[in-house]
Structure 1
Amino acid sequence: MQVVETFGRTVESWSSQRPERARKLLRTGWEAQNLKNRFKPDKRLQPADRQLACIMMDAMLAPLQTPEQSAMVSVFTPCEMLQEVGLNPYNVEAFSCYLSGSQAERAFLQQAENTGISETLCSYHKTFLGAAQKGLLPKPRCIVYTNLTCDANLVTFRTLSQLYHVPAFAIDVPMQQNQDNVDYVAAQLRALAAFLQEHTDKAIDEESLKVRLRRSKRTLEKYRAYQQKRADRYVPTDLVTPLYCGMTNNILLGTEQVEAYVDELLKDADKAPAAKGKRIYWMHTIPFWSDAVKEDLLFQEGAQIVGCELSEVAEPDFDPEQPFEAMAHRMVYHALNGSASRRIEAGIRHAKQVKADGVVWFDHWGCKHTLGAAQLAKKKFEEAGLPLLILDGDGCDRSHGGEGQTSTRLGAFLEMLNEPGRTEEGAQG
């Protein structure tokens, strides 16, 4: 850990005076980690999840290695068309997670706040903005984002477009679920195809796009089948793999690598032993850096995270033969779009699918969508037979504090789940 701390401090320090040198150090460090993932992986992970660590590291390195072939995107932007024109997703939330994992986020958070960005803005967005302002992050080819579920997107991507002087395309997703709104978003996606063709000089072939959407649909269906299968299996997991799945099932959806990954997941589930310990379903982001959460949930047989909301927000009920309508349907009917009740109902379905014993609703600082729905979620989940812990914290900013409270509350929640008479209660709902 001392090596990581030194690495993070050096990246932060150099970004103030010599940002290009800091960027080279960041790239070199991440490339070294990528080699480690390939040749000396964490053997506690299942084979598929070792493969996933490489997929995600490749995705993070791509914008540093070939920024001119990258597009900055919000986490729920459909990226199949970007793949068609050879653009890699340069994602705010994922990149900030990796900066935090490198212990290099603090200086960038402070930089953003020093330039007038609100303290209450999501820390993932502040970290990315601060790193961009300091010159650590290279200039992308373009920016594509949506207003879907996260109001921080409207501030972040407009600011980035002005900072880098690159073209930006915003996708407006209405909150109501109906065919008119699907048609409205599909029309925007057709305009996005023209935008991407204009700025890359590469045409988007609709037949090729259909092939990608078929792959996206298969991937989501297979992932759901895996979640059903793992409900009766013990699959050791860390705290980042569930977040990685939030990326693979969103910004990397449609790629051959991700479909191959879920195929391996299904094989791993077939070989896994019978379920053991308490099964926790996690709503929203995970503070993977937290020692308190690690103590209770990192590769623990007694309790493990068996599902994360962010990996299951897109439903596979779309028609890939109409690719623009398919992507639009995925956005309009997205589990986080619309009322909080839709999100809660989806969370209950998915938690029951994996036979969760309990649920953690993580109130990530700065996420109004999550903070505002917490009490309603607690009521609805518990009415459905699923005990729910509301846990306050920050998924990206490790200086947020509250470790003592996290340890006490999470520990007490797990103890409660282990009380006699609760063994099957959560699973049966």
Structure 2
Amino acid sequence: MAIVDTFGEKVEQLSNTNRTRARWLLKTGWEAQNLKFKLMPDKRLIPADRYLAGMMMDAMLKPLQCPDQCAVVSVFTPCELLQEVGLNPYNTEAMSCYLSASKVERGLLQQAENSGIAETLCSYHKTFFGAAQKGLLPRPKCIVYTNVMCDANMLTFRALSNLYKVPLFSLDVPLQQNEENVRYVAEQLKALAAFLERNTGRKIDEASLSQRLERSKRTLEKFGRFQEEKADRYIPADLVSPLYCGMTNNILMGTPQEEKFVDMLLRDVKKAPAKKGKRIYWMHTIPFWSDAVRRELCFNEKAQIVGCELSQVCEPDFDPADPYMAMAHRLVYHALNGSVNRRIEAGIRHAKQTKADGVVWFNHWGCKHTMGAAQLAKKKFEEAGLPLLILDGDGCDRSHGGEGQTSTRLGAFLEMLNGDKV
């Protein structure tokens, strides 16, 4: 950890004096970590999760290595269209997670707040914006985002477009689930295709796009099978693999690499031993940096995270034969679009799919959608027979951590699940 602290301090110092050098150091450090993932993987993880760590690191390095071949995207942007024109996803939440893991986030958050960004804005967005302002994160080819779930998107991506001086495309997804709205979004996706063609000079072949959506559908179906088969198995879990999975199941959907990952999961689960300990389904992002959460849930046979909401927000109930309608259907019927009841119902369904013993609803600081729904979620989950802990904190910013409260409340929740007196 001392190495990471020193690395983060040096990157932060250089970001104030020499942005080119700071960016080089960040890229080189991440490349070294990627080499470690490949040559010295964590043997406590199943092979699929070791592969996942490298795949995610590859995705994070692309914006630093070849930014002109990347598009900044919100996490729920359908990226199959980007893949067809050779653009890699440059995701705000994922990049901010890695900056936080590199102990660089504090100065970036302060930079954003000093420029007038509200303290209450999502820390993932503030971290990314501060890094862009400092020149630590390079200029992308373009920006594409949706309004699904996150109201910070409406501010962040327009501000980034002005800062980077690059083209911007926004997908407006209505809240109501009906076929008229699917057609409305499909027309926007066709306009997005034209936007990407103009900005890259490459044409999108609809037959190729349809095949890519077929792969997305297969991948989601296989992941659902894995979650069902995993329900009676014990798979060692850390705090970052569920986040990696939540990210790649969105921004890398449609790629051969993501399908390979879920194929590996299906092979690995067949070799896994019988389940042991308490099983926790996690709603929203995970504070991977938290020592309190790590003590209770990281590589712990007594309790482990068996699923994360973010990896199961899209269902494979779309027809790849019409790729634009398929992507539109996925957005309109997205679990986090529309009434919060849809999100809660999906969470209950997926928690039961994994045979979870309990659920953590993580109130990430700045996420109004999550915090506003917490009490209703507790009522609905518990009516469905799933005890739920509302845990306050921040997935990215350590200064909002509340470690003492996290340790006390999470520990008491797990004792309650074990039937111990609390």
TM superposition score normalised by structure 2: 0.99
Alpha-carbon distance, 1:401 to partner? 3.0
Q: Which runs of 5+ in 2 are unaligned?
A: none
> RMSD across aligned C-alpha pairs, in angstroms?
0.8
Structure 1 CA distance for aligned equivalents of residues 251 and 118 of structure 2 = 27
2:48 alignment partner in structure 1: 48
Q: 2:320 is matched by which residue type in structure 1?
A: P
Q: Secondary structure of the residue that 2:216 maps to in structure 1?
A: helix
Q: Which moved more, 1:24-33 or 1:8-17?
A: 8-17
Q: Secondary structure of the residue that 1:345 maps to in structure 2?
A: helix
1:427 alignment partner in structure 2: none
2:323 alignment partner in structure 1: 323
Structure 1 CA distance for aligned equivalents of residues 351 and 420 of structure 2 = 21
| Pair 1:2–1:323, CA change in 2 (3 A) | same
Structure 2 CA distance for aligned equivalents of residues 101 and 195 of structure 1 = 34
Structure 2 CA distance for aligned equivalents of residues 209 and 245 of structure 1 = 23
1:414 alignment partner in structure 2: 414
Q: Secondary structure of the residue that 2:136 maps to in structure 1?
A: coil
Give 1:213-232 correspondences, 5 Å limit.
213-232=213-232
Alpha-carbon distance, 1:398 to partner? 1.0
2:193 alignment partner in structure 1: 193
After superposition, give the CA deviation of every residue in 1:138-173 in whole Å (9 maximum; x if it has no partner): 100000001111000010000000001100000000
2:355 alignment partner in structure 1: 355
2:101 alignment partner in structure 1: 101
Give 1:251-266 correspondences, 5 Å limit.
251-266=251-266
After superposition, give the CA deviation of every residue in 1:190-236 in whole Å (9 maximum; x if it has no partner): 00000000000000000000010000000000000000000000000
Q: Secondary structure of the residue that 2:273 maps to in structure 1?
A: coil
Q: 1:360 is matched by which residue type in structure 2?
A: V
After superposition, give the CA deviation of every residue in 1:235-291 in whole Å (9 maximum; x if it has no partner): 001101101111111110000000001000000000000000000000000000000
Q: Secondary structure of the residue that 1:216 maps to in structure 2?
A: helix
Q: Secondary structure of the residue that 1:250 maps to in structure 2?
A: helix
2:158 alignment partner in structure 1: 158
2:203 alignment partner in structure 1: 203
Give 1:283-294 correspondences, 5 Å limit.
283-294=283-294
Q: Secondary structure of the residue that 2:361 maps to in structure 1?
A: strand
| Aligned: 1:307 with 2:307 | yes
Structure 2 CA distance for aligned equivalents of residues 163 and 420 of structure 1 = 54
Q: Secondary structure of the residue that 2:29 maps to in structure 1?
A: helix
Give 1:53-202 correspondences, 5 Å limit.
53-202=53-202
2:290/2:401 contact within 8 Å kept: no
Structure 2 CA distance for aligned equivalents of residues 139 and 104 of structure 1 = 19
1:22 alignment partner in structure 2: 22
After superposition, give the CA deviation of every residue in 1:38-97 in whole Å (9 maximum; x if it has no partner): 000000000000000000000000000000000000000000010000000000000000
1:426 alignment partner in structure 2: none
1:242 alignment partner in structure 2: 242
Structure 1 CA distance for aligned equivalents of residues 226 and 135 of structure 2 = 41
2:213/2:254 contact within 8 Å kept: yes
2:364 alignment partner in structure 1: 364
1:383 alignment partner in structure 2: 383
Q: 1:319 is matched by which residue type in structure 2?
A: D
2:361/2:374 contact within 8 Å kept: yes
1:270 alignment partner in structure 2: 270
Alpha-carbon distance, 1:318 to partner? 0.3
Structure 1 CA distance for aligned equivalents of residues 271 and 150 of structure 2 = 38
Structure 1 CA distance for aligned equivalents of residues 400 and 148 of structure 2 = 26
2:393 alignment partner in structure 1: 393
After superposition, give the CA deviation of every residue in 1:348-390 in whole Å (9 maximum; x if it has no partner): 0000000000000000000000000000000000000000000
Q: 2:194 is matched by which residue type in structure 1?
A: A
After superposition, give the CA deviation of every residue in 1:303-335 in whole Å (9 maximum; x if it has no partner): 000000000001110000010000000000000
1:340 alignment partner in structure 2: 340
2:278/2:303 contact within 8 Å kept: yes
Q: Secondary structure of the residue that 1:373 maps to in structure 2?
A: helix
Q: Which moved more, 1:397-406 or 1:169-178?
A: 397-406
Q: Secondary structure of the residue that 1:145 maps to in structure 2?
A: strand
Alpha-carbon distance, 1:17 to partner? 1.1
Q: 1:147 is matched by which residue type in structure 2?
A: N
Q: Secondary structure of the residue that 1:235 maps to in structure 2?
A: coil
Structure 2 CA distance for aligned equivalents of residues 399 and 240 of structure 1 = 20
2:63/2:140 contact within 8 Å kept: yes
TM superposition score normalised by structure 1: 0.98
Structure 1 CA distance for aligned equivalents of residues 178 and 420 of structure 2 = 46
Structure 2 CA distance for aligned equivalents of residues 344 and 199 of structure 1 = 39
Q: 1:359 is matched by which residue type in structure 2?
A: V
Structure 1 CA distance for aligned equivalents of residues 152 and 401 of structure 2 = 22
Alpha-carbon distance, 1:420 to partner? 7.0
